[in-house]
Structure 1
């Protein structure tokens, strides 16, 4: 009997800052309780961009070449032994995190806090776990989710960032008829607006320093009102910084004719001034959700939060959100959500995709919000 010839596939491998290489690799069959997925769409996000530009994302530095990408969907091509919930030909979304399922956090349903979590395309653990910028990917079946009939691969690639917002919304107890303010209208901020609208918020407004992105948010119905923060020199003292944040918050509330503040504030920038403003723009008894990752150490006006019982919640990744995310994406309730995807490129042009995301504009001057990598063109 002649040996079975090895099958090969292509992967985009990061070797260092701005050092992406299209490589040919052996395509192995899926192991026990794993499935193989032919990746059809991968959305790029901020953490991917940090790895591409700097070879690190915060404290997590590249220690060996690995594959980026974790917002993905595709088609099951094979299943390993023990897999009962998936079958070849099935359209699916890939949840990138692999939890231990044994620790107290996992048992309590908070697996996003699992200390032994391995996350595809993150350099936190070593050996690194390759992400989805490859033709095919083997992944545990229990974190692969079937798509609804009316959910496209591109929409399903949004399930990962949408899950971040669903998790935050659950922590905020977001409900119908609440008033919502969103700081930052990048991809995450737009999804925050879309989700708040889908949940029946009575008012959704957005704040940013980028007028073009704000105009996009309003013209596509994600936010009913927008406010562009004025650019200014960096404050010389902490007192000046905190005073400016309060003054800017007051001007923002006046702009929206909401002097008492908003029920829920989604802070999606990670910028210290916006985090400070978020406390002042929340209504007494309201909630601030810290979603954006940016400033590591922030000076907060805690007395302003404590005296008005403003709850400040951290929010990290997500847990048990994919079914709801995919259902929403296939339902049509996230109006105009497909417009979030502004650019599409094939796998072999991934380096160009990262450059587009880095610049924020394409060669024709068009705004870049979300770039999706498709399969190889060959």
Structure 2
């Protein structure tokens, strides 16, 4: 296949998305070319769209967003043997250096030279997947089972975060588990804990609708609606957090939890997370929230509570594919996480606006919004 022209959604400024033409070369010998069929929008995409930055990371040139993606192979490089045109694949979009100490340890997710699609961290930016077609190294593409939809294939990326968090949690079977945050990642963390044998999974959020969804669809055993309370100072805020943890522990008389997955990044939830964990337990920091927070560290240190960071994922896609199948067998339908679908790159602004909401105009819950880059409605 020779060079061709494709359409791409490109962010130029705050909420300034434009559909533009780009040249796309034939895939290199170790690459495949993919027709991008499903891209889920995540929190980092929304930050770039709404603020033209993500925390301290600034966008310095026009950037295509999107990294939770799957598609169909349209062409393969000369050295590619295990994939062919027509195969459905999920994309792992971070490219580590492969040479540093962390890469050699298998912890390539924290490689300092990582290039990650749709992130402004590396420069020139590694363009995201909101394009009609892209070339990507075959090494970082995973063939999907015939019975797996492309939308679920896109969910393998955030599911990888949950799998990585679970691994680092060292959760024993029969453990009591608390999840703060009932968004897509929180729900996936809950599902992985359920599938991997947690004895009790409680999910907490301020949104009662999301909690109802979680319990009704088997993502958690019980839920707790976190009240909207803020302290006037640090002491009152910590007192509220401790009370919140105590109240959650009364759900089914669970008490303290073996593992808490904090998936919001909200300081009050991180504080409550520390108080919620039993002595010797673990608090997993999954949510990307406020970079500077006031935390009751003595409450963790004096009880030997491990506070463990989680950043993206490494070596998770094969296991995630198995977990999708195991979830179905356990009665957890991951397809229900995809609540809204938009067709065509021109619909990207509408999709991003929807992804920033908790409910649509009809009152339907918004969990995961996906865009099909080529399928015009």
| TM-score between the two structures when normalised by the length of structure 1 | 0.95
Match of 1:149 in 2: 146
Separation of aligned partners in 2, 1:351 and 1:303: 45
Of residues 32, 45, 55 in structure 2, which corresponds to 1:58?
55
Query: Match for 1:41 among 28, 38, 41?
Result: 38
1:79 touches 1:86 (CA, 8 Å); kept in 2? yes
Conserved? CA contact 1:148–1:327, under 8 Å:
no
Q: Is residue 2:359 matched to residue 1:361?
A: yes
User: In the alignment, which residue of structure 2 is the partner of 1:134?
Assistant: 131
* Cα deviation 1:246-287 (Å, max 9, x = unaligned): 11111221234122x111110001000110111111122111
Match of 1:240 among 236, 239, 243: 236
* 1:371 is the counterpart of 2:369: yes
Q: Secondary structure at the match of 1:299?
A: coil
Q: How many residues align?
A: 373
Deviation at 1:29, TM superposition (A): 0.8
How far residue 358 of structure 1 moved from its aligned partner, in angstroms, is 1.4
**Farther-moved stretch of structure 1 (329-338 vs 134-143):** 329-338
Q: 2:349 aligns with which of 334, 348, 351?
A: 351
Which moved further from structure 2: 289-298 or 246-255?
246-255
More off after superposition, 96-105 vs 143-152 = 143-152
Could you list the structure 1 runs, at least 4 aligned residues long, displaced by more than 4 angstroms after superposition.
Answer: none
Q: Of the candidates 215, 220, 225, which is equivalent to residue 223 of structure 1?
A: 220
- Contact map agreement 2:3 2:26 (CA 8 A) in 1: no
The alpha-carbon deviation at position 360 of structure 1 amounts to 2.4
Of 311, 315, 319, which aligns to 2:314? Answer: 319
**C-alpha separation between the residues in 1 aligned to 2:329 and 2:121?**
35
Secondary structure in structure 2 of the residue aligned to 1:373: strand
SS of the residue 2:142 aligns to: strand
How big is the shift at 1:359?
A: 2.5
Q: After the TM superposition, which residues 1-378 of structure 1 pair with which residues of structure 2 at under 5 Å, given as runs?
A: 6-232=3-229, 234-259=230-255, 261-331=256-326, 332-333=328-329, 335-347=332-344, 348-378=346-376
| CA separation of 1:279 and 1:79: change in aligned 2, threshold 3 A | same
Note the C-alpha offset of 1:377. 2.8
Q: Residues 60-99 of structure 1: CA distance to partner in whole angstroms, max 9, x if unpaired?
A: 1111111110001111111223223322221110001001
Q: Distance in 2 between matches of 1:5 and 1:316?
A: 38
Distance, in Å, in 2 between the alignment partners of 1:351 and 1:17 is 11
Separation (CA, whole Å) in 2 of partners of 1:363 and 1:12: 25
Q: Is the 8 A contact 2:343 2:372 kept in 1?
A: yes
Contact 1:149 1:330 in 2 (8 A): no
Distance 2:292 2:4 in 1: 48
Following TM superposition, by how much is the alpha carbon of 1:5 offset from its aligned partner in structure 2, in angstroms?
7.7
8 Å contact kept, 1:148–1:330: no
The Cα offsets for residues 221-268 of structure 1, whole Å up to 9 and x where unpaired, read as: 212111111112x32221221122111111221234122x11111000
The answer to whether the 8 Å contact 2:265/2:287 transfers is yes
Deviation at 1:333, TM superposition (A): 4.3
Gaps of 5+ in 1: none
Q: Contact 2:37–2:374 (CA<8 Å) still a contact in 1? A: no
Q: What RMSD in Å do the two structures reach over aligned CA positions?
A: 1.5
1:110 positional shift: 0.4
C-alpha distance in 2 between matches for 1:44 and 1:36: 22
Alignment CA distance shift 1:281-1:102 (3 Å): same
